[in-house]
Amino acid sequence: MIKTGTLESSDCMIELRESNERKIEIESIVFEQFGDQIYDVLKTTLDEYHVKAVFLRCIDKGALDYTIKARLKAALELWGVDHG
Amino acid sequence: MARSYLFIPGNTPSMLQHANVFDSDAVIIDLEDSVSLQKKHEARRLVFEYLTKYYDSSIEIYIRINDPSTPFFEADVALLDGLPINGYVLPKATKDTVLLLSRMTKKPLIAIIESAYSVVTLEDIAKIESIKGLLLGAEDYTTDMNIERTIDGEELIYVRSRLAIYAKAYNKEAIDTPFTMKDDEEGLKKDILRAKALGLHSKSVIHPNHVTLVNQLMSPSESLVLWATRVLKKKAMTSKGAFSLDGKMVDEPIIKKAQKIIDEVKKYS
């Protein structure tokens, strides 16, 4: 398992676990307003790294898109996934 | 030239997003001391994504990378060098490490002078073309010297003077060490004026609430601006190379100094 990010305000925590399929879980303080947008950032980033099978949990504390993307990219890179 | 260089922790989104609201002339996004060893990769990636999306050209942006003795140095430069930043800040700088970094990037460099060895070999560092400025790192320097860091900073008189002189000699910026006491405004004021009196005209800052005072005190004073204005006004009214103002002779070096003061005021007004 890999974890990146923090639970501080404006940040998010990303957790990756092995899985046979792609599964994305999101907990967010702004889920009602931005849940779809957060999902899109996570999905697009996984696509960019060609990751088809992973369990991804994102606990969001009001992070902007660039933070979510950065935390996920860092997690994938630490997990040994090559970019692109 | 910037009056204030504010350090921003590189792994804290809430601080990065506010980099341009503290009125600092320049910011130094930090990947070194403020980032734990376990978080280096995350911080580098966060800074990259932040600057890729939100680069703001209205403020000078530097990144303090990790020094070449660490396993993070090469990866820092490899990922960040494509960003349109103003340059890198290199900690624990020596002539060799500055030259090493200069071979890896075309960006300007600010060398942190924080060891006795760097102080002794300051000229070798200052004369390197890619060096834009010299920044005093007093905490590490006093640790290296095994001396106490005091509020009055007497232990820094020599190193501040030396840094200011070599910076001036090679036309580089002389940037003072941060003042570490967050809420000691009087102490900060004295610290700024002490550095300024020795020839350091910029100061690094680790507490955003220090920026305003640093900017204010590192700017030319009102009386100096008034004097410079009068010098240039009188110069414009005469064809003589030298003339008298308030009973004192004014010649080319004085006129240049006055012009420099006015240029500085215009830059930050």
Q: What is the pLDDT of residues A25-69, one digit of tens each?
A: 999 999 999 999 999 999 999 999 999 999 999 999 999 999 999
Structural domain includes residue A7: yes
A80 contact residues in B (CB cutoff 8 A): none
Instruction: Please tell me whether residues B69 and B95 are part of one structural domain.
Output: yes
Q: Is the dihedral of CA B208, B212, B216, B217 positive or negative?
A: negative
- pLDDT category of residue B221 using cuts at 50, 70 and 90: confident
Determine the average pLDDT of the residues in B256-266. Answer: 89
| Same-domain pairing of B115 and B247 | no
Q: Do B46 and A70 touch (CB under 8 A)?
A: yes
Say if residue B194 is in the same domain as residue B101: yes
Percent of chain B at pLDDT exceeding 90: 87
Write the pLDDT tens digit of every residue in B22-31: 999 999 999 9
On whether both B120 and B175 belong to a single domain, the answer is yes
CA distance B116 to B94: 11
What's A46's domain CATH number? 3.30.230.10
User: In A, which residues are within 8 Å of B46 by CB distance?
Assistant: 66-67, 70-71, 74
> pLDDT of B186-195, one tens digit each?
999 999 999 9
Residues B23 and B115 in one domain: yes
Is A17 a domain residue? yes
Compute the nearest-CA separation of A80 from chain B (Å): 12
Q: Does B42 touch chain A (CB under 8 A)?
A: yes
Question: In this complex, do B52 and A66 lie within 8 Å of one another by their Cβ atoms?
Answer: yes
SS3 label, residue A57: strand
Check whether residue B149 and residue B235 sit in a common domain.
no
CA distance A53 to chain B (A): 22
Contact (CB, 8 A) for B183 and B208: no
pLDDT tens digit sequence for B108-140:
999 999 999 999 999 999 999 999 999 999 999
Instruction: State yes or no: pLDDT of A84 exceeds 70.
Output: no
Within-domain flag for A83: no
Task: Please answer yes or no on whether B17 and A64 come within 8 Å at the CB atom.
Answer: yes
- Shared domain for B226 and B212, answered yes or no, is no
Residue A14 in this model has a pLDDT that exceeds 60: yes
Angstrom CA distances, A11 to A29, B13, B15, B141, B211, stand at 11, 6, 11, 34, 25
Nearest to B13 among A67, A73, A77 (CB): A67
Summarize pLDDT for B96-108 with one digit per residue, the tens.
999 999 999 999 9
Asked if B77 contacts B44 with a C-beta cutoff of 8 angstroms, the reply is no
Put simply, whether the predicted model's pTM sits higher than 0.95 gets the answer no
Of B12, B14, B49, the CB nearest to A70: B49
Tell me, yes or no, whether B93 and B167 share the same domain. Answer: yes
Confidence bin at B239 (pLDDT 50/70/90): confident
- B-chain CB neighbours of A70 within 8 Å are 42, 45-46, 48-50
Nearest chain B CA: its distance from A60 CA (Å): 12
The residue of chain B nearest to residue A4, with distances taken between CA atoms, is B42
Range of the domain at A18: 2-78
Listed residue (B173, B162, B160, B177) closest to B122, CA to CA:
B162
Contact B113, B141 (CB under 8 A): yes
Whether A58 maps to a domain, the answer reads yes
Q: How far is B78 from chain A (nearest CA, A)?
A: 14
Which residue range is the domain that position B247 belongs to? 222-268
Examine the pLDDT at B240 and tell me if it is beyond 90: no
In a domain, residue A6? The reply is yes
Residue B56 has pLDDT above 90, yes or no: no
* Interface mutation vs chain B, best among A64, A72, A77, A81, most B CBs within 10 Å: A64
Name every chain B residue with its beta carbon within 8 A of the beta carbon of A77.
41, 45
Name the minimum distance, in Å, from the CA of B42 to any CA of chain A: 5
User: Contact, B177 vs B200, CB < 8 A?
Assistant: no
Percent of chain B with pLDDT over 70: 100
Closest residue, chain A, to B54 (C-alpha): A66
Domain count, chain B: 2
Q: Which residues contact residue B121 at a Cβ distance below 8 angstroms, ignoring those fewer than 6 apart?
A: B94, B95
Same domain, B181 and B92: yes
pLDDT averaged over every residue in chain B? 95
pLDDT above 80 for A83: no
pLDDT in tens, B158-191: 999 999 999 999 999 999 999 999 999 999 999 9
Work out the minimum CA distance from A44 to partner chain B, whole angstroms.
15
Q: Which of B197, B217, B237 is the last residue of a domain?
A: B217
B76 and B190, same domain (yes or no): yes
The chain A residue lying nearest B45, using CA atoms, is: A70
Q: Is the minimum CB–CB distance between B45 and chain A shorter than 8 Å?
A: yes
Write the residue in A10, A65, A73 that is nearest to B14 by C-beta. A10
Task: Mark whether B171 and B255 lie in a shared domain.
Answer: no
Whether residue B143 sits in one domain with residue B36: yes
- Contacts A67 to B, Cβ<8 Å: 13, 46, 49-50
